[in-house]
Each structure stands twice: as structure tokens, then as C-alpha cells.
Amino acid sequence: MSSAMGGAMSEAPTPGARNAWGPNAWGLRGHDAAVEALRRAIRSGHLAHAYLIGGPSGVGKTALARRLAATLVAPSAADPTVPDLDTRAARQIEAGSSPDVERIAIGGMCDESQHDHAGDRSTRIRICQVRRLERVSSLAPFAAPFRVFIIDTADDLQTEAAHAILKTLEEPPPSARFILVAADPDALLPTIRSRCQEFTLRPLPHHHLAAALQEDAALPAAEAAALAHLAHGRYGLAMRMHADPTMAVLRESAEAEVLRLATGSRNERFDVADRLGNAWYRERESVLATIDLWREWWRDALLAGAGVERGVEGASANIDCNAADALRALRAVQTAREHLLANTSAQLALEVMMLDLPTLPLSMLGAASLEHADGTEDRVAATAGG
């Protein structure tokens, strides 16, 4: 079952007075419709055994998953469809130490004593981790009605792990609930998606996010508006960039680089492939973060070019790129990412991506995009120098 509902959601202060951008019943910013649909399911006793929460990075997928888990494990005495965030059980969920709520992620635990996923630079969720999930999910809950497993993110599952988790979703233990988080649900096995009730989360309108940032982070109006624009309406991403300003600079740098690659020569592209290929073996997370930003940028360009989603803003919305070119670029970046995670030669995977990217004439870049790239180079240089 699929449900596409607009609005972002991320952690926010305990609910107070409601307004257009205020926190909802679960204390999250935006995506009220998804929260209310889940509350209705809890109230009626028709909760699905598995949910798939999709949406771009920083939109609040994991925050929603944690609040759903908190509602199941630590419901309010006054209203069992909302969590009691003051309880010890709810605080344990937020801290990642709950005995009844477990997050399955890259580098997580498995039952193999000789495995050290945190230290072996894993880039995928391994099948041994899913085998542990299968074992633990069959156990009775420790102190709650359910054991809840959050797979964060399902995009990171090894192929073998994805097939293994499918078996669990097909025959779920009665006391277990599964919440899959994915930036790109389309990349998952269709059979996994068919076993889940699906929600697609979307960013907040920029002016709503700016108002929320003024309220939650006490930012001046101009700074809040700039951060909302840079975060593309994603509350969680905006708050992370506010806490770590270097994230904003790196994000702008990646966006400026994808603009240069769109119009660059083959030699310029191969220089970037060489740099990232060498970095892959030392700084995998950094390279993946860059690739993910490029994928996100081309996705926004595709939506803007196809005119299928209003509200796409930023440099990618200013490029005069047709949907076919944007789709070609998106596929090239996604394929390179998959090859990198499959331990293909990093240099080869990145060079093939560069060859597959469309080459756009400078005339197709809007003036705002060119100014964005030039201005970012100046900011990055200033940051490096001081």
C-alpha cells in the first residue's frame, strides 16, 4: 500500500500551539497527514507489520520512524496514539538504547563474534546483520507490546541482505514491527515494497521552514531564509547545517561542482573522477556524501524539467535542462554509486559515470546557477584560507 503525502517532518520541540509550520501531535515539523494516518491505524488496531518511509536525505524519515516506535513502546496514558516522551522507554529510544527498539544500519551488530562492522569500513548492511534481526525479531518483547526494528536505510542493504529481509517481511513474527527508511524506494526490490505500507515524505515550503528555524533555532529572518533555501525545505538537514556550518559550505561546493561537470570537458571530468577515485579508499563516507548530493541535485533538476513537482528551488531549478538529460545524469550517478558499493574499481566506476553524464552548453545554465557556482568557489576558498 502506498501513500504519498506532502510535507517534511523532523524532530522539533514538544507540541505547543499549532500554526502552519508548528509541530504536530508527535512533536514533528510537518507531514501531519502521515502522522494522522499512523495514529488512525494505531487507534483502530490495524497497524501494518511493515512500513516504508521514503524521501530525500534530511527530510525527517528517521525522526518519524523513531516517533512511531516511541508511540508503540511508550504510548501516552491519556492517548495511546501519541508517545509519552517523558518516559524512560521513550528516552531510551531517542538515545538508541531501548531493548525493544533496534536500528539496523551500516556498521551495526551481528551474531558473528569475529565480525567488526564498525571497524571494517563497511559500506552496506550485511546479510549477517539481517540474520541477527531474524533471530531477535522472533523473541518476545522485553517490556513493550512490540519489538520494533528500524532499517536505516534500506538503500544500504546488500543484495543478499535484501533477499533475506524479504523472507522476514513475508512471514513476520506477530510481536515484531518493521520500519524501513529509504532515500530511493524505487531502488528497492519490488517485492519488499509490496510487503510494506508506504509513505513518501516531501520537504516543507521554504517560507514555512524559515519560520520554523526562527522559532526553534532563534535565527534572524534573513539567515533562516537562506538556510531554508540551502536545505531545500528539509528541517533535519537545516538543523544539522545550523549546528555544523561546514556542512553548508561542503554542500554548496558539491552543488557548484555538479554545475561545472554539467558543462565541463572530458578532461575536466576525468580529473574529478581521478580525485574521487583516489579518495574512495581513504574517505568513503565523504565520497558517498558527494555522490549523494549530485544524485539529489539531478533529481531536483529532473523534477523541475518535467514540471511534475512544484516548489523545487535552488540552483538545480535554474538550469534549463530537459527531463531526458536530467534522467540520463541521474541514472549515471546512481549506477556509479551502486558500482562503488559493490567494490568495483572506484576509478573505473567514476570514469564511466563521467562519460555517461550529458554535456550541457553554458547557455542552458541560468544566470542564477552560474552566479551560484562562482559565489560558492569564493566561499570555499575563504573557508579554506581562514
pLDDT in tens, 262-305: 889 999 999 999 999 999 988 888 898 899 889 888 888 887 77
Mean of all residue pLDDT scores within the chain: 85
Outline where 233-366 has alpha helix (H): 235-243, 245-263, 266-280, 284-306, 323-341, 346-356
Please give the pLDDT value at position 9. 44
Neighbour tally for 212: CB within 10 Å = 27
Residue of 89, 312, 50 whose CA lies nearest to 181: 50
- C-alpha to C-alpha distances, 80 to 27, 51, 65, 67, 379, nearest whole angstrom: 15, 19, 17, 13, 49
What are the domain boundaries of the chain? 2-200, 244-385
Q: Taking the model in full, what pTM does it have? A: 0.80
Residue 255 in this model has a pLDDT that exceeds 70: yes
Strand partners, 148: 101, 177
Residue of 371, 360, 158 whose CA lies nearest to 256: 371
What would the pLDDT profile of 40-99 be if each residue is shown by its tens digit?
Answer: 999 999 999 999 999 988 999 999 999 999 999 999 999 999 999 999 999 999 999 999
Residue 21 in this model has a pLDDT that exceeds 60: no
Please give the pLDDT value at position 269. 95
Please give the pLDDT value at position 386. 42
Kindly indicate whether the domain formed by 2-200 is annotated with CATH number 3.40.50.300.
yes
Strand partners, 3: 199
Residue 39 in this model has a pLDDT that exceeds 70: yes
What's the 3-state SS for 161-173? HHHHHHHHHHCCC
CA 307 to chain centre: 23
Please give the pLDDT value at position 3. 52
Dihedral sign for Cα 157, 65, 92, 146, please.
negative
Please give the pLDDT value at position 289. 86
33: helix, strand or coil = helix
What would the pLDDT profile of 168-217 be if each residue is shown by its tens digit?
Answer: 999 999 999 999 999 889 889 999 999 999 999 999 999 999 999 999 99
Q: What is the rounded average pLDDT of the residues 233-239? A: 93
Q: In what order do the strands lie in the sheet with 147-152?
A: 2-4, 197-200, 50-54, 176-182, 147-152, 101-104
Residue labelled with grid coordinates 533535519? 236
Residue 117 in this model has a pLDDT that exceeds 90: no
What would the pLDDT profile of 326-374 be if each residue is shown by its tens digit?
Answer: 999 999 999 999 899 888 899 999 999 999 999 887 765 554 444 544 4
Q: What is the rounded average pLDDT of the residues 246-257? A: 86
Q: Evaluate whether 368 touches 318 at the Cβ level (below 8 Å).
A: yes
What would the pLDDT profile of 123-160 be if each residue is shown by its tens digit?
Answer: 889 999 999 999 999 999 999 999 999 999 899 999 99
Please give the pLDDT value at position 377. 46
Q: Which residue has the higher pLDDT, 43 or 306?
A: 43
